[in-house]
Amino acid sequence: MPKNIRSLSIVAAIASVGLALTGCATGSSGQAAPSATPTATPSATPAHWTYEGEEGPSHWGELAGDYELCETGTAQSPIDLTSAAPVAEDELSLAYGAIQDHIINTGHTYQLVADEAASVEYDGTTYTLLQMHFHDPSEHTVDGEAAPVEFHFVHADDAGNLLVVGVMAVEGAENAAYSAFIDAATAGSAEAVTGAVDLAAMVPADLQHFSYPGSLTTPPCSEDVQWIVMQTPVELSAAQIGALEAAYGHNSRPVQPLNGREVGLSTATVTE
């Protein structure tokens, strides 16, 4: 299948950027993305959790033994990102093309399942796309400000190490690249196949990004995620943002303490 491959070569010096690889975030209801070094043995039936009340984020660590890191972890996600982050040096390329739009309702978000090949190469390691889902409003903030929506593109390498690409969305022009996904999410069905989506068109043309080690933003909050959060957002129309909010609004974990972790901000020139 032909793919639009965009490469990002970053030529700035690193300034105190520690990228201790950890894990990745998923918005799925009962199953976390694979982890090469799980921190706990998963329950046979995952404990029920929500985004509010007695089963909300402040209580996740109490709901099951394998959710303990949600309360005790020291490298949790999401975090507040700062535009004053030190400059980082890394290499990122996306091998994204058109894939079948296979959507499932996880009980906490709508998720695009990557049934066909798409991948990211980061610092020489290839990570295959597993799924994409959304949070409304954004989970990460930038200088204390949340975006209306954040999309998470969840990847894993051959060893099960996780990498998530976060893409913020702000209000602007209607975005045709997200139309099929949003239409499926608002259809209200448990599962839908609506046709092809152009993954390359769903991410910003400018691949400058924040990078840091973090965790799943949902239980079990495993701390084995390499985070890449794009600095440039995509645009969605007010109607598209409203449709996602109506489908699954307020499904975001609050920002977590940085606890001494270093966040890098790339400066780069994108080449095709």
> Rounded to whole angstroms, how far apart are CA atoms 165 and 241?
20
> Rounded to whole angstroms, how far apart are CA atoms 97 and 271?
16
State which H helix or E strand residue 214 sits in. strand 209-214
DSSP secondary structure letters along 108-134: SSEEEE--S--EEEETTEEEEEEEEEE
102 vs 13: which has the higher pLDDT? 102
Active site annotation includes 48: no
3-271 maps to which CATH number?
3.10.200.10
First to last CA, the chain: 18
Q: Is the pTM of this model over 0.85?
A: no
Domain spans, the chain:
3-271
CA–chain centroid gap for 122, Å, is 15
Q: Which of 48, 59, 102, 108 is catalytic?
A: 108
* Chain segment 67-115, per-residue pLDDT in tens: 999 999 999 999 999 988 888 888 899 999 888 878 899 999 999 998 7
Q: Which two tokens stand for residue 132?
A: 């994409």
User: pLDDT band at 193, cuts 50/70/90?
Assistant: low
